[in-house]
C-alpha cells in the first residue's frame, strides 16, 4: 500500500497486486479502478479523494461481500470485499460522529462514529434469544446441567433479573472470595448465585507470571517479546505447561494473558508484553500457550481485543480502521488463538473502534468472534472499561451496552450485590433498551465457562491426586509465607486480633483488610519488650501491598507499654494487605488498632466524574 498526498489535501492509496494468504499458491488478486477515477494518473489501482467524487473498488476472491467504507470530509471510497463471511460493517465516518477518541496532538479529541450492521443503538439484536420469563427456584443447580437433567436455559430461567444483573459483574481487585491478592472473581459472586451451585472463579494478572498482591511468590516468566523472538512454539508450550500447573496450585482459573496486541506504536509502554508486529507469529505463540495451560484445565484470557496499540489515553484514543486491516492484521492473532489454541476467555480493550468502544462493539464480539469463528467462551472487559450506545460517549456504568454486544462480564466492582459501580443494568431492563434474553445469553456463556474450571470441581468436593499434592505443597509455602487473616473494616476504626500475631523470630502474619471506606489509615501499635537484655534490638517490619511502610525497632530498655503510630499508604481499592514480620523475638503487642485518618471516597468520586466529563 503506497499512500500519496494529493494536492487538494486528500490521499491516494494504491494497492499493488499481491498474493493472498487465503488463496491457492500463485493465485493473485487485482484491485482496479476505472482510469477516469484515478485522478488522471491512470496507473493507481485504488483512489480515495477529498472532494465530492467517489471511487468504487471491488476486491474479488471468491468470497461473499462485506462493506468497508471510509469517509473523509465529503469524499468516499467504497471497498467491497468478497469474503465468504457475514458482512461486518466496519464503517468509519470522520467528522460526522459524536464519539471522542481519535488522537489529536495526543489528546484524543476528534469525533468518529461507526454504523453497525446490527441494531446496537436501540437494543435490538437480530440473533439474540427471546427472553425466558423467570420461573423462580425449581430446585435445579448447575450440576444438574452437567448431569443432563436440565438444559442451561431451563436452569438459568430460575434467576431473577436482579440475579442476572449480578452475574455479569466481576468483583475485585483482591476479592476475599478467591485467592488472596488476585485481580478478580466472577460467577457466584452473591449468596443467591452461589445458592444455585454457581462457583466463583478466580483470575490473576499475567501475562508474565501470576501476580498476587498479598505477597505470595510465583514464577516470573519471560515476557512476550522475548518468547516470540525464539520462534519456538514447542518451547513456549513447555514453559506454559508449568505455568498451568502453578495456576492450578494457586486455585486460579484463568491467567489474564497472553497479551496479543501488535507492535504498532514504538511508544507503547507494554510492547514488551506483546509478542510481535506480525499477527501470524502472535497467533501461533498464543495458541501454544493456551494449549499448554489447558492440560491442567486452566486457561489464559487473551487480550486486548482489539487495536490496543498504545498506552497513553488508551481508554479514549479511537482506532479508525478499515475492515481489511482489522481482519488481516489486528484480528488475525486472535482468530488463530481461537481456532487453533481453543481460547475460551477473551478480554476486550479500553479503546473505541470505529465509533464503538470495544466492550460494546457488536460486530466485533458477536458477528465476527462468535458468528464467524464459532467462539463459545466468555468475554470480559478490561478493568473499569467504558461502553457506549451509538452516537453517545463511553461510560463505565453502561453495562447494558456491553451485554447487548455479548461482552459478558464487567470487570470489576467492589460488591456485585450492592451494585457498587452503579451500572445501568436494572434501569435498562426496565426501559427495554436491553432484554432479559440478552442477560440470559451472557449468563449462559459465563456458566459454560465455569463448568470447565477447577473451581467447579472443588465446589462439588471433587479432588484429584494432583489437587491433593498441590494443596500440600501450597500449605508448606503458606507456612513460610505466614498466616493470612481476613478482617472486615466496616467502620472508621478496627482492632486487629493481636492473639493471631506471632512475634517469634522470623514470624510473620498478613492481614487482608476488606475496607468499606477507602482512604489513609493509621496503625496504632501498643507494644513493649520482655525478657531481653538491655542491648537487644527487636525490629518489626510492616508492609502494605508488597511495599515496606516502616520498620520500627524496640530495645531491651523498652519494658514499658508504649504506642507507636504508623501512617499507612492510601487505599485505592477496597482490599489491602498489611504484613507484620519480626526479625527478632521478644516483642509483645497489647493492641493493634486501625484508625481512618483521611477518607478519600469523595476525592475518588470527584476524580471519576471529572474524567467522565473530560471524555
3-state secondary structure 47-93: CECCCCCEEEEEECCCCCEEEEEEEECCEEEEEEEECCCCCCCCEEE
Task: State pLDDT tens for residues 352-393.
Answer: 999 999 999 999 999 999 999 999 999 999 999 999 999 999
**Bridge-based pairing state of the strands 75-82 and 54-59:** parallel
For range 554-561, the mean pLDDT: 92
* pLDDT for 263: 96
The answer to whether residue 297 is catalytic is no
Task: State pLDDT tens for residues 124-178.
Answer: 334 455 568 999 999 999 999 999 999 999 999 999 999 999 999 999 888 889 9
Which domains, and CATH codes, for the chain?
Answer: 2-84 (no CATH), 168-186+202-421 (3.20.20.300), 482-602 (2.60.120.260)
- Give the percent of the chain with pLDDT over 70: 77
Burial of residue 433, with CB atoms counted within 10 A of its CB: 0-12 exposed, 13-18 middle, 19 or more buried: middle
For range 478-483, the mean pLDDT: 64
* pLDDT for 521: 96
Is the pLDDT at 50 greater than 80? The verdict is no
**Bridge-based pairing state of the strands 493-496 and 54-59:** unpaired
* pLDDT for 615: 57
Written as one string, the DSSP assignment of 485-553 is EEEEE-SSEEEE-GGG---STT-EEEEEEEESS-EEEEEEEEEEE-S--TT-EEEEEEEETTEEEEEEE
| Most confident region among 18-22, 67-71, 399-403 by mean pLDDT | 399-403
- Helices then strands (H, E): number in the chain? 16, 29
Radius of gyration of the chain (CA): 27
Q: Which of 475, 502, 508, 489 is nearest to 594 (CA)?
A: 489
Q: Which of 511, 464, 467 is nearest to 489 (CA)?
A: 511
- Strands of 110-115's sheet, edge to edge? 54-59, 75-82, 65-72, 91-102, 110-115
Q: Which residues contact 362 (CB under 8 A, 6 or more apart)?
A: 116, 118, 120, 125, 356, 404, 405, 406
Of the listed ranges 16-20, 236-240, 264-268, the least confidently predicted one is 16-20
For range 346-353, the mean pLDDT: 97
CB 79 within 8 A of CB 57: yes
For range 442-446, the mean pLDDT: 98
In this prediction, residue 614 has a pLDDT band, given cuts at 50, 70 and 90, of: low
Of the listed ranges 53-67, 119-133, 342-356, 358-372, the least confidently predicted one is 53-67
* pLDDT for 86: 55
Average pLDDT, the chain: 81
Torsion 230-231-235-237 (CA) sign: positive
Q: Which of these is catalytic: 213, 382, 408, 545?
A: 382
* pLDDT for 132: 81
Task: State pLDDT tens for residues 261-314.
Answer: 999 988 888 999 999 999 999 999 999 999 999 999 999 999 999 999 988 888
* pLDDT for 88: 59
**Rounded CA separation 484/452 (Å):** 29
Task: State pLDDT tens for residues 200-235.
Answer: 999 999 889 999 877 678 999 999 999 999 999 999
Q: How many residues does the chain have?
A: 615
Cell of 597: 485518618
Of the listed ranges 161-165, 196-200, 490-494, 595-599, the least confidently predicted one is 490-494
CB 584 within 8 A of CB 513: no
- Strands of 302-305's sheet, edge to edge? 302-305, 345-348, 378-380
Is the pLDDT at 27 greater than 80? The verdict is no
CB 182 within 8 A of CB 202: yes
Is the pLDDT at 83 greater than 70? The verdict is no
Angle in degrees, CA 303, 309, 315, rounded to 5: 80
CB 176 within 8 A of CB 575: yes
Cell of 356: 464503538
Amino acid at each position: 500500500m503506497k499512500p500519496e498526498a494529493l494536492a487538494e489535501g486528500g490521499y491516494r492509496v494504491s494497492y499493488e497486486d499481491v498474493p493472498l494468504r487465503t488463496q491457492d499458491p500463485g493465485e493473485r488478486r487485482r484491485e482496479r479502478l476505472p482510469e477516469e477515477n484515478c485522478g488522471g494518473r491512470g496507473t493507481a489501482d485504488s483512489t480515495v479523494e477529498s472532494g465530492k467524487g467517489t471511487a468504487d473498488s471491488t476486491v474479488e476472491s471468491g468470497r461473499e461481500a462485506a462493506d468497508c467504507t471510509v469517509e473523509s470530509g465529503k469524499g468516499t471510497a467504497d471497498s467491497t470485499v468478497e469474503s465468504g463471511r457475514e458482512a461486518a460493517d466496519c464503517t468509519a465516518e470522520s467528522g460526522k460522529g459524536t464519539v471522542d477518541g481519535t488522537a489529536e496532538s495526543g489528546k484524543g479529541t476528534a469525533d468518529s462514529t461507526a454504523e453497525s450492521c446490527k441494531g446496537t443503538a436501540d437494543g435490538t439484536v437480530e440473533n439474540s434469544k427471546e427472553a425466558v420469563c423467570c420461573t423462580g427456584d425449581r430446585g435445579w443447580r448447575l450440576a444438574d446441567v452437567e448431569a443432563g437433567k436440565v438444559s442451561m436455559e431451563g436452569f438459568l430461567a430460575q434467576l431473577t433479573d436482579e440475579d442476572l444483573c449480578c452475574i455479569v459483574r466481576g468483583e475485585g481487585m483482591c476479592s476475599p472470595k478467591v485467592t488472596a491478592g488476585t485481580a478478580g472473581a466472577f460467577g457466584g459472586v452473591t449468596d443467591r448465585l452461589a445458592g444455585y451451585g454457581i462457583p466463583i472463579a478466580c483470575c490473576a494478572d499475567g501475562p508474565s507470571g501470576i501476580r498476587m498482591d498479598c505477597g505470595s511468590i510465583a514464577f516470573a516468566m519471560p515476557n512476550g517479546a522475548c518468547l516470540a523472538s525464539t520462534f519456538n512454539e514447542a518451547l513456549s508450550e513447555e514453559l506454559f505447561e508449568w505455568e498451568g500447573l502453578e495456576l492450578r496450585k494457586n486455585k486460579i482459573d484463568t491467567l489474564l494473558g497472553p497479551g496479543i496486541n501488535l507492535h504498532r506504536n514504538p511508544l507503547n509502554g507494554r510492547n514488551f508484553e506483546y509478542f510481535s508486529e506480525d499477527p501470524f507469529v502472535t497467533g501461533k505463540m498464543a495458541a501454544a500457550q493456551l494449549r499448554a495451560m489447558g492440560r491442567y484445565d486452566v486457561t489464559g484470557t487473551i487480550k486486548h481485543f482489539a487495536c490496543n496499540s498504545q498506552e497513553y489515553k488508551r481508554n479514549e484514543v479511537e482506532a479508525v480502521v478499515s475492515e481489511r486491516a482489522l481482519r488481516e492484521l489486528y484480528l488475525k492473532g486472535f482468530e488463530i488463538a481461537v481456532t487453533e489454541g481453543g481460547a475460551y476467555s477473551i478480554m476486550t480493550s479500553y479503546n473505541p473502534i470505529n465509533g464503538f468502544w470495544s466492550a460494546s462493539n457488536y460486530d466485533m464480539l458477536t458477528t465476527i468472534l462468535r458468528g464467524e469463528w464459532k467462539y463459545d467462551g466468555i468475554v470480559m472487559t478490561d478493568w473499569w472499561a467504558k461502553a457506549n450506545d451509538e452516537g453517545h460517549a463511553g461510560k463505565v456504568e453502561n453495562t447494558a451496552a456491553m451485554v447487548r454486544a455479548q461482552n459478558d462480564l464487567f470487570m470489576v466492582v467492589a460488591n456485585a450485590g450492592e451494585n457498587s459501580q452503579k451500572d445501568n443494568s436494572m434501569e435498562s431492563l426496565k426501559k427495554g433498551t436491553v432484554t432479559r434474553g440478552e442477560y440470559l445469553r451472557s449468563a449462559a456463556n459465563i456458566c459454560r465457562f465455569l463448568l470447565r474450571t477447577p473451581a467447579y470441581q472443588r465446589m462439588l468436593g471433587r479432588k484429584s491426586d494432583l489437587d491433593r499434592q498441590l494443596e500440600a505443597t501450597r500449605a508448606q509455602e503458606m507456612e513460610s509465607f505466614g498466616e493470612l487473616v481476613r478482617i472486615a473494616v466496616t467502620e472508621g476504626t478496627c482492632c486487629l486480633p493481636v492473639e493471631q500475631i506471632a512475634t517469634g523470630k522470623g514470624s510473620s502474619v498478613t492481614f487482608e483488610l476488606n475496607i468499606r471506606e477507602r482512604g489513609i489509615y493509621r496503625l496504632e501499635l501498643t507494644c513493649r519488650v520482655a525478657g531481653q537484655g538491655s542491648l537487644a534490638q527487636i525490629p518489626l517490619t510492616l508492609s502494605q501491598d508488597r511495599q515496606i511502610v516502616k520498620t520500627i525497632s524496640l530495645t531491651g530498655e523498652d519494658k514499658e507499654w508504649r504506642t507507636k503510630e504508623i501512617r499507612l499508604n492510601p487505599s485505592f481499592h477496597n482490599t489491602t494487605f498489611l504484613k507484620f514480620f519480626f526479625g527478632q523475638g521478644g516483642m509483645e503487642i497489647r493492641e493493634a488498632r486501625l484508625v481512618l485518618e483521611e477518607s478519600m471516597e469523595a476525592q475518588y468520586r470527584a476524580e471519576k466524574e471529572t474524567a467522565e466529563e473530560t471524555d
